[in-house]
Amino acid sequence: MVTKGFLFLVAGVLFALAFISSCASDDVEDGSIEYGGQTYKIIVINGQQLLSQNLNYDVPGSKCYDNNSANCNRYGRLYNWVMAMALPPSCVSLSCIDKIGTPHRGICPNGWHIPTNAEWDKLYRFADGDNGTNSPYDSPTAGRYLKAKAGWNHCGPYSSPSSSGSSSSSGSDESYLCDDTLGFTALPGGYYNSIGFYEVGEYGHWWSASENEKDVSKAYKRYIFHRNDKAYWGYGIKNYFFSLRCFKD
């Protein structure tokens, strides 16, 4: 004889499985894609499909950090904004908003594109649970959940004693964690300008497809620092070289 308790147990198990399945659809590995001789993992985060690695697509003028090919394999390549967007060189100093598609492929694989401010905001807010509407958005904690578990100079408690022997006021014994909860696996690839390479291990910088409305020599970027849990937005000079992620159309 089937008891009510047994039926309740079965119903509970089925509900739990359905709940797990619905959550997994928002954050699961979803195969891979071949592009330019590289294989990229595809993940799904809150309905957005994206590459879980920085782009390492060799276009003329793109850079490996310190001109070392091993760094391209680890961090992906660095691109200036015009190069990433596949726009005319004149767009470094002129507004090219009329040439920006919706979505804008740039040098991403066919069917993929460079994320806009709105898409970066959606990612940040899902990572930290914020439900606001201001854009672009600085997140107080998304960096923790987007960072790769290894590769950053600081991930976890650290102490910076002052000369007097007490901890410094710059953030002693704080935990700056790298959880990679969503599989985004952000790495600190640094950047390049006409003087040299900087900040590998400390900062990751990523381009958006959104041009700065007030200063046409700049475009919006996103960045994460190794010594806090935040994820920021900012302006990048178009001829600086940053990392690039691609989102699915």
User: What radius of gyration, in Å, describes the C-alpha atoms of the chain?
Assistant: 21
Q: Name the residue with tokens 């302006």.
A: 235
Q: Encode pLDDT of 73-118 as tens digits.
A: 999 999 999 999 999 999 999 999 999 999 999 999 999 999 999 9
In a domain, 9, yes or no: no
**Which pLDDT score, from 0 to 100, does residue 27 have?**
44
Question: And the tokens for 42?
Answer: 């595809």
Beta-bridge partners for 203: 225
pLDDT, residue 25, reads 34
Residue 26 lies in a domain: no
The pLDDT assigned to 194 comes to: 95
| Residue 169, domain extent | 34-248
Count of CB atoms situated within 10 Å of the CB of 67: 10
Specify the long-range contacts of residues 151-154, CB closer than 8 Å, at least 24 apart.
151/74, 151/187, 151/188, 151/201, 152/178, 152/187, 152/188, 152/201, 152/202, 152/226, 153/188, 153/201, 153/202, 153/226, 153/227, 154/226, 154/227
- Do the domain assignments include residue 16? no
Concatenating the DSSP letter of every residue in 42-89 gives EEEETTEEEESS------TT-B-GGG-HHHHHHH--BB-HHHHHT--G
User: 125-128 long-range contacts, Cβ below 8 Å, gap at least 24?
Assistant: 126/26, 126/45, 126/46, 126/182, 127/181, 127/182, 127/184, 127/231, 128/231
Contact 210, 158 (CB under 8 A): no
- The token duo for 240 is 């600086």
216: in domain: yes
- Domain contains 4: no
**Is 27 within the bounds of a domain?**
no
Overall number of domains in the chain: 1
- Give the bridge partners for 234, in sequence order: 221
Residue in 57, 63, 115, 49 with CA at minimum distance from that of residue 242: 63
- Taking the CA atoms of 138, 144, 146 and 152 in sequence, report the sign of the dihedral they define: positive
d(CA 87, CA 85): 5
3-class DSSP state for residue 11? Answer: helix
Does some domain include residue 12? Answer: no
pLDDT at residue 157, rounded to an integer: 58
Q: What pLDDT is attached to residue 214?
A: 93
Nearest to 169 by CA among 177, 156, 178, 160: 160
Q: How confident is the model at residue 154, as a pLDDT?
A: 87
Q: Which residues in the chain show pLDDT less than 70?
A: 1-30, 156-175
Whether the ω angle into residue 60 lies within 30 degrees of 0, i.e. cis, is no
Q: Which pair of tokens denotes residue 26?
A: 């928002």
Residue 62 within any structural domain of the chain: yes
| H or E segment and range at residue 9 | helix 4-24
